[in-house]
Structure 1
Amino acid sequence: MFSKYGKDFIKRVGEHYQLFHRHFIHTEAMLSDVEKEMIAAYLSQLNVANYCYSGHSKVATIWE
């Protein structure tokens, strides 16, 4: 999907994702676990990552 953008783009996206994940998902936040899963499901859907979307959306539904 991202191959048309080149390796530098993919590397930068990966670095930003790791930073986001480290500070947003693995720290105490004002968001609940359900809200975090909903955000993860939304981002997975935007990325057309159907497997990830399915998992995150099911977890969010279970935790509601």
Structure 2
Amino acid sequence: MYVCMCFAVCDRTIRSCIARGARTVEEVGEITEAGTGCGGCQGHIDTLLTATLAPSVLDDLPATG
């Protein structure tokens, strides 16, 4: 799915960028150009960053096995 229409950047590209170390909307923009055009997608980029980087409550649950 495209996140940034200005530069045709999809969510997979942004997730890959985050996996390689991007930690802010600005860093994602420097690497992919996403969010540097009209800026309308910056909220979506921030959501992807938060969802990827925020610890999950599931991390604290005991493993089953």
Regarding TM over 0.5, the answer is: no
Q: Which has the higher contact order (CA 8 A, sep 6+)?
A: 2
TM-score by length of structure 2 reads 0.33
Structure richer in helix, relative to its length: 1
TM-score by length of structure 1 reads 0.33
